[in-house]
Amino acid sequence: MPIKKIAVLTTGGDAPGMNGAIRSVVRSAINKDLEVVGVSRGYLGLINDDVKAMDHRSVSGIINLGGTVLKTARCPEFHTPSGQRRAYETIQKHRIDGFIVIGGNGSFTGAHSFYKKYKVPCIGVPASIDNDINGIDVTIGSDTAVNTALLAIDNIRDTATSMERVFVVEVMGRGSGFIALQVALAGGCEGVLIPEQKFDLEKVCHEIVEGNLRGKISWIIVVAEGAGSAPEIAKQINRLTSLEARAVVLGHIQRGGRPTAYSRSLALILGKAAVDALVQGQKDKAVGSQNGEIVTVDFKRAISKKDLKVNRLVNLIKVLT
């Protein structure tokens, strides 16, 4: 069946660049003479029939904004048969031929399960600060989150050096160590703890003490939230080294803010690629960029564990400390 009318929604945790993806989807679709509707609050809006028409002007002036103008939500109900049935009723009511989901791993998991049951064509645009979508290089928003966290690390460095302290900085990422690894490297941090790699805190403490004896006066250890909690690790470092260790949890500041040029351009490229894929009859897939090429990846593969190939970066951080 030819695609004449599509819906676009953002769901799960917001990511900087989502607005660029919305803009690209809406304008690329209009350019192909498709009708476009926007769904508010992601899957929740599909369930509650929160649907509005979108035109060229409805996506003006949003490219530089963080968050998502369509709003987003976590929606456990979409993972239930009754939630999916109601979402399908909304799709039928508005005669939507296919939809584009801008979101991360959880969003694609929902889209894949919905496709299996209702066979409504759906294409995913990967947007998440976690960079945990398999089969593609980078998600929209992860570059911005890394730069936001890096700014915080640089600020912490000033006080760490001045007061000769150990800092443990916790960054987001859910089960992924992507943000932690990137900021630890770019911020010249002395250690990084990530879920992808086992670590021995006593060994880390030993290295800190050894370093101190050599005259190293301050330390920043980055911990991915999936590997542990900064307050807990700082407490252990205090106990095991007798050095003053402070904990900083960066939290949701990493999710907001102006998208970087990289996050924006990726969003604009992938928004159009998603419309093209839908029109070509593709379904149950995410679009993405890999090694400089635009690719499509089955949702099933996209939501499986991504191998970040962490060893090279972890070793480099060690060599440079």
4, 97 Cβ separation under 8 angstroms: yes
* CA pair distance 223, 201, nearest whole angstrom: 12
Helix orientation angle between 178-186 and 311-320, rounded to the nearest 10 degrees: 30
Compute how many other C-beta atoms are within 10 angstroms of the C-beta atom of residue 85.
Answer: 12
Task: Give the three-state DSSP class for 136.
Answer: coil
Sign of the four-CA dihedral 37, 40, 44, 50:
negative
Q: Per DSSP, what are the bridge partners of residue 39? A: 9, 51
Task: Give the three-state DSSP class for 212.
Answer: helix
Strand-strand pairing, 293-298 and 285-290: antiparallel
**Residue 18 Cβ, how far from ligand F6P at the closest point, in Å?**
12
Residues that bind ligand F6P (CB under 6 A): 13, 74, 104, 128-130, 172-174, 225, 255
**Residue 165 Cβ, how far from ligand F6P at the closest point, in Å?**
26
Contacts of 80 (CB under 8 A, 6+ apart): none
Nearer to ligand F6P, 17 or 173 (CB): 173
Q: What phi, psi does 148 have (nearest 5°)?
A: -65, -45
Token reading at 184: 């630890």
**Residue 53 Cβ, how far from ligand F6P at the closest point, in Å?**
29
Q: Which residues are catalytic?
A: 130
Nearer to ligand F6P, 225 or 284 (CB): 225
> What order do you get walking across the sheet with 35-39 strand by strand?
51-53, 35-39, 5-10, 98-103, 122-126, 285-290, 293-298
Per DSSP, 217 falls in state: -
Nearer to ligand F6P, 67 or 104 (CB): 104
**Residue 174 Cβ, how far from ligand F6P at the closest point, in Å?**
4
Nearer to ligand F6P, 172 or 308 (CB): 172
**Residue 232 Cβ, how far from ligand F6P at the closest point, in Å?**
17
Nearer to ligand F6P, 74 or 165 (CB): 74
